[in-house]
Amino acid sequence: MTNEVLIEFQNITKTFGSITANAGVNMDIRKGEILSVLGENGCGKTTLMNMLAGIYYPDGGKILIGGKEVLIHSPKDAFRYKIGMIHQHFKLIDVFSAAENVVLGVKDGSKYNLKNVKKRIGEMCDRYGFHINPDKKIYEMSVSEKQTVEIIKVLYRGADILILDEPTAVLTPQEIRKLFDVLRAMRADGKSIIIITHKLNEVMEISDRVAVLRKGKHIATVNTTETNEQELTEMMVGKKVTLNIDRSLVENPQDRLLVMDLNCTDLEGVKVLDHVSFTARSGEILGIAGIAGSGQRELLEAIAGLQKLDSGEIIFNRPKKNLPVSFYHKTLNEVKFLAKEGRFHYEDGTPVDLSGKSNSEIKKLVNDGKILFNEDEVMSLRDKTPLQIRELGVRLSFVPEDRLGMGLVGNMDLVDNMMLRSYRKGNSALLNRKKPESLADTIVKDLEVVTPDLHTPVRKLSGGNVQKVLVGREISLAPKVLMAAYPVRGLDINSSYLIYNLLNKQKKEGVAVIFVGEDLDVLLGLCDRILVINSGRVAGILDARTVTKEEVGFLMTKTDGGEGNANG
Amino acid sequence: MDKTNESKETTKQRFSLPFHVIKRINIPVWKKILIYAVAIITGLLLSSLICAGFAGKSPVDFFVYLFKGAFGSSRRIWVLLLDMALLLGTSIALIPAFKMKFWNLGGNGQILVGCLSAVACMNFLGGKVSNGLLIFIMFLASVAAGIIWALIPALFKAFFNTNETLFTLMMNYIAIGLVRFCIASWVKSGSGVLTPIGYGNLPKLYNDQLLTILVFVILTLFMFVYLKYSKHGYEISVVGESVNTAKYVGINVSKVIIRTMILSGAIAGLVGFFIAGAVDHTVSDAAANNMGFTAIMTSWLAAFNPLVMMLTCFFISFISKGMLQVRTDFGLSSDSIANIVVGLVYFCVIACAFFVNYKIVFRKKEDK
Amino acid sequence: MLVTFLVGAIALGVVLLYGCLGETLMEKAGHLNLGIPGIMCMGTAGGCFGALLYMKGLAQETDAKWLPLLLVSILFSILFSAATGAIYAFLTVTLRCNQNITGLAVTTFGAGLSQFIMDTYVPRALRDSYFGVASKLFAKGIVNDPDANGVLKVFFSHGFFVYFAILLAILFAIVLKRTRVGLHLRAVGESPATADAAGVNVTAYKYVSILVGSAVAGFGGLFYTMDYLKGSWENASTIEAFGWLAIALVIFTLWKPGISIFGSILFGALSIAAFVLNGTSAQKELLKLLPYVITVVVLVFTSIRNKRENQAPGALGLSYFREDR
C-alpha cells in the first residue's frame, strides 16, 4: 500500500427530503488499499459510496480525484474515472449469460464479438483466481457466481477503484475466504478496494484502513492494525450496547411440530428439499442456518401450506391430554363424532358417552370444561392450504422473508394490513374495521412503530417499522408455532434487538419458535438448537450453546460426500 | 434509507437540463383536481382549434355547438344520460377486474354476447311466450352469456396464468364473428342487418331512458360499497396488490379471480341486455359501441373509484354527443372527428397523470 | 386454387408480419403498445396521402414514375406512423404513463385521424384512378405472368414489400441476437435499471425502438391498402383488426422475429381461408374466427408450457424511473 491519495471527499452532504443521509463527510481513499467503510444500517455508508458511483449526486461538497474536482453524474461518469461499484442487489439480467452481462453497456470501439469477450473474461479469471462459466445464464447461478460476474463486469470496464456493498452478506465462510483472496490479488495488482460492511471480524481480517460512519457523519478513519473490534464498535454505535442476547433455559419442552422426510421439487425440477426431518419443540427457539437459497424458504412455506410437497409428513401436536375440549377448535358435530370414537373422558376417568344427550346438554358439558381428551391431538398439515390450517385451529404464525411482497400489502394502511389475518371473522359479508384498528393502535404503541398515523400505507414506513408491524401482527395471533425468516435483515441494531426480545418472549410463553437467520453470531446467541440446511438437506442439528461458528459454517458449505446422516 | 422508494432529491442538480424530475409523495386533492381540470381544458382547446381550423370557423363556436349537441334539448339530455348510464355499466363491469390487476380488455365482447343472447331470445321466443317471461329469459340469457365470455379467460388465468390482456382482446373478435354468423344465419335477405324486434322490449319508466339510467346508477353505488366495505372487495384488493400475500393469508387466488370475473361478466352481460331490450332492440357487430375500451379509460381516469366514475363517464359521453353537433354545424364530412377529439382529450388526461405522480423541480441559480 | 390460396396467405401474412415486427421491437424495449392498430391505420393514411400528393402534382396519370411515387408514399407513411408512435413514446417513456391506457388512446386517435384524413383529403372519386397506378407499382412482382408455374407464383409473384418484410425480419433477428445494439435493446426491455447502471441510454433506446417499430408497423397498413387491396381503402376498422392480430402474433412467435415469418403466413392463411373455400355466408363468418381462436389456443398452450427463455421481456409494460430503485 502506498500513501498516495486517490480520491478525496470534501464536506460531502446529501439529503433525502427531511432525512440527512450524509453531513459534511471528509475522507480519502488511497491507491492500492482495501478500505472498509463501517457503520450501522442507515448510517449513510451506501449513500456516500453511491455518490462516488454516480447513482446519487451530492447536494453539497466536492469529490476530488487525483487532486482535481470531478462531477460524477452517472455510473458512466464513474467508469470514466475508473470507479466501479458492486451493489448489494446485483444488477444482472437473469436471462442473459455471464458474458452478455459483462459486455453490456461497454462501448470500447471494438466490434461486438462474444468470443473475444469470453477470452478476456478467461484471462481475468486466471489473473485473480475466479471461476466462472461465461455461457451460463444468470438465473442458473448461485449468489456467489453472480457476485463474481458483477466483479468481472466492473474489472472488464477497466475499473481501478472497486466499491463492494456488503459483499459477504450472502456468502458462506468458504466463499468469503475465496472472495478475500481475490480482493487481495486485486490489491496486489494496484487496485483500490472499498468494502461497505457492518461486520467487524471481516473488517479486521481484510482491510488496511477503516472509515467509520455514524448517522451520516464520518467519525474517523483508522489503520486496522492500530485498532480493535471494541473500539470500532464504540465509534460505530456511539453508545455502548449490550451485544449479548438474553437466552433463557428451555423449560418443559414438548414436541410441537414434527417434520418428517419432506421432499420437494421446484418448477425447474431441482430438488429443493431432500428428506428433511426435524422436530420443533415448545418453549425453544430452533435456528435454521444455511447459505441463502438452500431450501429455507421452501421449508417454511411447506409448513405454512404454501409449497407443494412430493412426499413427507408435517404433524402438529396439540397438547390436549387430560385437557378439556372446547368449541374454539371443535364444532358440536366434531365433539359428537370424537365421543363416539371414544376419545374423551370425564374428570373421574369414566369414558364420555353422549348418545341420548340433547345438543344443549352437550354444549353445557363442553362449556363447563367437563369433557377431557384422552390423548394429545395429532393432526397432519401436509397438503393443507393456509386457510385449512387455520380452520383446523392450528395457530401458526409466519413472518416471511419478503415482508412487503408476502407478509404485508405495501399500498394498504396499517389497519387493512392488520385485517389480513382476521378479516374473515364473522358471518357478515361486510368488513369490520374496528378491531383491526385497535390492534394496529396497540402494536404502534407497544413496539414503538414510527408512523404518521394508522392510515399510512405501510410501504411508506422504514424497513424496521415495517417489520415491527408484521411481527406484531403475527404475534397478536397468539401462535403455538412462530416461524420467522430473516426477521432482522436490513434492520438497525435497536430494531434487531427489539425483534430478538419479542422472539424470546414468545419462547418463554411456550411457543415453538423457528428462526431462519443469516448472521451466525446471532443464531449462536439467540437459538437453543441450530438446524443446518445444506442444498435442501439437513446437514445437522446442533446444540447452539456448545457449537462453534466454524462447525456450523462447515456444515453449511460442505459438498456431497460421505458425511453421516446427521438428522436428529 | 437509501432503499426507500420515496427518496426525494430536492436539490439543484448540475445536469444539463435546467430542471429535475422527482416523485411526489403526497399530493393534495385540490391540486389533483386542478391538474385534471387543466388537462381536460387543454384537450378541449386543442380540439377546438383543430376542428375550427379544418372547418374555417371560430373555435368559440366549437364550444357552443359542443354544449348545444349535448344539452340542446331535454331529449338530448336524456339520451346523453342514457349513454352515460351504459358506459357507467360497462365501467363498473370492468372495475373489479382492474382492481384485481386483471386487464379485462374484453368488455366489448362480453357486452356483445349479452346483447346477442337477448336478441336471440327476442327472435325465437318473441310472440310465443308472454312479454314479461320473455324479458326474464332474456335477462338470464344475457347475464349467462356475459359470464361465460368473461369466465373463459378467467379460468385460464387462474389455472395457467395465461395472459388475460390478449385473451380477452381475442374474445372480442370471436364475439364479433359470432354476431356476424348469427345475423348471416337469421337474416335470409342477406342484407346483413337485423331489423329491430318488437318483442321483449323493456317497459317504459317515465320515458325510454330512465329505467336504464336508474339501474346502472344504483349498481354503481352497490359496486362502491362492494369494493370498499365487503370482504370480497378486500380480497380483490389483496389479490390485486400482491398474489403472494393473498396466498400467504390463505386467500384462494384462483377462486377470487373466477368469482370476480363472473361478477364482471354478469354486469357486462346486463349492459348487453339493456342495449337489446331498451335501446337498440336488435344486434349488430358494433352494438357494444366500443364501450369496452372507452370504459377502460373512464375507470382508469376515475382511479377505479365507482363514484368518481360517474363524472368521467358523463364527461366522455358529453364529448361524444356534443361532437355530433359540432361535426354537423362545422360541415365536417367524417364522423371520425369525434374519435380524434376523444383521443386528444385522452392524451392530455393521460399526460397529466405525470404531473400528479411526479414533480418538476427547476434548478435555482447555481451557487457560486 | 392452392396457388391462389398460398399467394394470398403470404400477402396477408405480410400485413401481419410488419405489425408483428414493429410490436416485437417495442416489446423488446419493454413497451407493450396497444396502439399498433392505430399506428397501422396512420401508416396507411400517410402512404395514401403521399401517393395522392405526388399524383396530383402530375400532368397526367401516366407520367407517374415508380421510384418517386414509391418514395413519396413510403416517406409519408413513415412520417405519419412514426409521428403517432412519437405520441405514444412521449407519453409512456418521458411522462411514464400507463402503457395499456396510452396504447388504447393511440388506437382511438390513430384510427379516427386516419379515417378523417381519408374521408376529407383523399376523395373517393380519385382513389381508384390514382391508387390504381400506385398499387400496380407496389404489387409488381418478379413473375407477373398469370399462367406461370405455381411454385414460381407462390414465391416470386409478390410485390417488393413482401420480400422487404422477410428481409426485415431476418435483419431484426440478427440485430437482436448478434449485435451490441441488440444486446442493449434486450437489456432495456429485461431490466432498464440494470441497463441504465451499465451506461446504456435507456430513454434513447426506448424512443428509437418505438419510432422505428411504429414506422415498420405502419408499412403493414400501407402494404395492405396498396398491394393487397390493389389500391382501395375500406375503412380504418379493417386495418385495426389486423393490428390486434399482429399483437397476438408477437406472443404466438415468442418475441422471435425469425419465427414471425412463418407465424404470420400461417395467420394469413387462416384469415383468408374463408374467402377461398366455398360455403354459405354464415359458414364463412365462422371461418373468419379461426385466427383469433388459434391465437387463443397458442396463448393457452405457451402459458401452460412455461419456459424461461420463451417469456415476455422482464420489464414489459413497466415504466422506468431512474430514482425508483
C-alpha A140: how far from chain center: 21
Digit-coded pLDDT (tens) for B243-279: 999 999 999 999 999 999 999 999 999 999 999 999 9
pLDDT of res. B228: 94
Digit-coded pLDDT (tens) for A30-84: 999 999 998 766 678 888 999 998 888 888 899 999 889 998 888 788 888 999 9
Q: Where are the alpha helices (DSSP H) in C57-123?
A: 66-89, 99-121
3-state SS track over B159-211:
HHCCCHHHHHHHHHHHHHHHHHHHHHHHCCCCCCCCCCCCCCCCCCECECCHH
Q: Are strands A192-197 and A161-165 parallel, antiparallel or unpaired?
A: parallel
Residues C292, C274 contacting (CB under 8 angstroms): no
Q: Which of B100-109, B143-152, B191-200 has the lowest mean pLDDT?
A: B191-200
Under the banding of pLDDT at 50, 70 and 90, the label for residue A294 is confident
Q: Kindly list the residues from chain C whose CB atom is less than 8 angstroms away from the CB atom of residue B338.
A: 112
The DSSP code for C307 is: -
Cα A564 to Cα B132: distance, rounded to the nearest angstrom: 80
B9, pLDDT greater than 70: no
Number of neighbouring beta carbons within 10 Å of residue B204: 11
Testing the interface with B: which of A69, A419, A420 to mutate, by most B Cβ within 10 A? A420
pLDDT of res. C98: 87
Cα B154 to Cα B173: distance, rounded to the nearest angstrom: 17
**Which chains have at least 3 CB atom pairs separated by less than 8 Å from chain A?**
B, C
Residues A162, A191 contacting (CB under 8 angstroms): yes
A355, pLDDT greater than 90: no
Q: Is the pTM of this model over 0.80?
A: yes
Any chain C CB within 8 A of the CB of B340? Answer: yes
A15 with B11: Cβ contact below 8 A: yes
Q: Which residues of B touch A (CB under 8 A)?
A: 1-11, 13-15, 25, 229-234, 237-238, 241-242, 244-245, 247-252
Q: Which of A374-383, B98-107, C259-268 has the lowest mean pLDDT?
A: A374-383
pLDDT of res. A203: 85
Distance from CA of B10 to the nearest CA of A (A): 6
Cα A265 to Cα B231: distance, rounded to the nearest angstrom: 35
A96 with C190: Cβ contact below 8 A: yes
C292 with B173: Cβ contact below 8 A: yes
Under the banding of pLDDT at 50, 70 and 90, the label for residue A567 is very low
Nearest to A409 among B245, B247, B250 (CB): B245
Residues of chain C numbered 204-263 and touching chain B (CB < 8 Å)? 236, 241, 244, 247-248, 251
B184 with C282: Cβ contact below 8 A: yes
C-alpha B19: how far from chain center: 36
pLDDT of res. B52: 87
B3 with A490: Cβ contact below 8 A: yes
The one-letter amino acid code at B219 reads L
SS3 assignment, position A373:
strand
User: Whole-number mean pLDDT of chain A?
Assistant: 86
Cα B76 to Cα B61: distance, rounded to the nearest angstrom: 19
In terms of average pLDDT, the best of A137-146, B6-15, B291-300, C300-309 is B291-300
A242, pLDDT greater than 60: no
Which residues, listed in sequence order, are joined to residue A515 by a DSSP beta bridge?
A: A287, A484
Residues 6 or more apart whose Cβ sits within 8 Å of residue B64 = none
Angle between helices A463-476 and A493-508 (to 10 degrees): 10
Q: Rounded mean pLDDT of B190-200?
A: 87
Cα A487 to Cα A474: distance, rounded to the nearest angstrom: 12
pLDDT of res. A237: 67
C183 with A74: Cβ contact below 8 A: no
**Which chains have at least 3 CB atom pairs separated by less than 8 Å from chain B?**
A, C
Residues A485, A300 contacting (CB under 8 angstroms): yes
Name which of A141, A187, A134, A142 is nearest A164 in CA terms: A187
What stretch(es) of chain A map to CATH 3.40.50.300?
5-237, 242-319+382-395+478-560+564-568
Ramachandran quadrant class, B165 (left: phi over 0; alpha: psi -120 to 50; beta: rest): alpha
Q: Where are the alpha helices (DSSP H) in chain B?
A: 29-55, 59-71, 74-99, 107-125, 131-160, 164-186, 210-229, 231-241, 243-248, 253-274, 291-301, 306-330, 337-357
Higher model confidence: residue C191 or residue A166? C191
Name which of B114, B69, B45, B85 is nearest B324 in CA terms: B69
SS3 assignment, position A19:
strand
A322, pLDDT greater than 90: no
SS3 assignment, position A294:
coil
Residues A281, A512 contacting (CB under 8 angstroms): yes
Q: Kindly list the residues from chain A whose CB atom is less than 8 angstroms away from the CB atom of residue B244.
A: 402, 405-406
pLDDT of res. A42: 64
Any chain C CB within 8 A of the CB of A93? Answer: yes
Under the banding of pLDDT at 50, 70 and 90, the label for residue A163 is very high
Q: Kindly list the residues from chain C whose CB atom is less than 8 angstroms away from the CB atom of residue A105.
A: 184, 187, 195, 198-200
pLDDT of res. B14: 39
pLDDT of res. B262: 97
Residue of A nearest to B14 (CA): A73
Q: Are strands A284-289 and A537-543 parallel, antiparallel or unpaired?
A: unpaired
In angstroms, the first-to-last Cα distance of chain C is 59
Distance from CA of C248 to the nearest CA of A (A): 23
C295 with B190: Cβ contact below 8 A: no
A109, pLDDT greater than 90: no
A91 with C183: Cβ contact below 8 A: no
C303 with B160: Cβ contact below 8 A: yes
- CATH domain A242-319+382-395+478-560+564-568 topology: Rossmann fold (3.40.50)
Residue of C nearest to B344 (CA): C109
A339, pLDDT greater than 90: no
Residue with cell 380452520: A391
Under the banding of pLDDT at 50, 70 and 90, the label for residue A2 is low
Which residues, listed in sequence order, are joined to residue A396 by a DSSP beta bridge?
A: A481
Q: Are strands A529-534 and A537-543 parallel, antiparallel or unpaired?
A: antiparallel
DSSP result, C12-26: HHHHHHHHHHHHHHH
- Residue B282 in grid coordinates: 336488435
Q: Rounded mean pLDDT of B216-226?
A: 96
Cα B23 to Cα C96: distance, rounded to the nearest angstrom: 11
A243, pLDDT greater than 60: no
A562, pLDDT greater than 70: no
pLDDT of res. B270: 97
Distance from CA of B203 to the nearest CA of C (A): 33
Distance from CA of B223 to the nearest CA of A (A): 13
Establish whether this prediction's ipTM goes over 0.95.
Answer: no
Angle at A69 (CA atoms; ends A65, A71), nearest 5 degrees: 95
Q: Kindly list the residues from chain A whose CB atom is less than 8 angstroms away from the CB atom of residue B229.
A: 430-431
Q: Kindly list the residues from chain A whose CB atom is less than 8 angstroms away from the CB atom of residue C321.
A: none
Higher model confidence: residue A197 or residue B179? B179
Which residues, listed in sequence order, are joined to residue A193 by a DSSP beta bridge?
A: A34, A162
Any chain C CB within 8 A of the CB of A74? Answer: yes
Any chain B CB within 8 A of the CB of C20? Answer: no
Share of chain A above pLDDT 70, in %: 95
Q: Which of A113-122, A333-342, A552-561, B68-77 has the lowest mean pLDDT?
A: A552-561
Share of chain B above pLDDT 70, in %: 93
A376, pLDDT greater than 60: yes
Q: Rounded mean pLDDT of B123-131?
A: 91
Distance from CA of B250 to the nearest CA of A (A): 5
Torsion angle defined by CA atoms of residues A546, A551, A557 and A562, in that order, rounded to the nearest 10 degrees:
-110
**Which chains have at least 3 CB atom pairs separated by less than 8 Å from chain C?**
A, B
Domain spans, chain C: 2-310
B16, pLDDT greater than 60: no
Any chain C CB within 8 A of the CB of A107? Answer: yes
Distance from CA of A196 to the nearest CA of B (A): 14
The one-letter amino acid code at C108 reads T
Nearest to C179 among A55, A94, A112 (CB): A112
Which CATH number is associated with domain A5-237? 3.40.50.300
Give the distance between the most distant pair of CA atoms in chain A.
97
B230 with A402: Cβ contact below 8 A: no
Q: In whole angstroms, how far apart are CA A231 and each of A198, A557, B87, B318, B368?
A: 14, 32, 70, 73, 41
pLDDT of res. B25: 67
Q: Which of B72-86, B90-104, C234-248 has the lowest mean pLDDT?
A: C234-248
pLDDT of res. C323: 62
Under the banding of pLDDT at 50, 70 and 90, the label for residue B363 is low
pLDDT of res. A238: 66
Any chain B CB within 8 A of the CB of C310? Answer: no
SS3 assignment, position B235:
helix
B162 with C303: Cβ contact below 8 A: yes
3-state SS track over A43-74:
CCHHHHHHHHHCCCCCCEEEEEECCEEECCCC
Q: Are strands A255-265 and A311-318 parallel, antiparallel or unpaired?
A: antiparallel
Residues A104, A76 contacting (CB under 8 angstroms): no
User: Whole-number mean pLDDT of chain C?
Assistant: 86
Which CATH number is associated with domain C2-310? 1.10.3470
pLDDT tens for chain C, 325 residues long, are 788 888 889 989 999 999 999 999 999 999 999 999 999 999 999 998 898 888 888 777 777 777 888 899 999 999 999 999 999 999 999 988 889 889 999 999 999 999 888 888 877 777 777 777 777 777 777 777 777 777 777 787 788 889 999 999 999 999 999 999 999 999 999 999 888 878 888 999 999 999 999 999 999 999 988 888 877 777 778 888 899 889 888 888 889 999 999 999 998 988 888 777 777 888 888 888 888 888 888 888 878 876 667 777 888 888 887 765 4
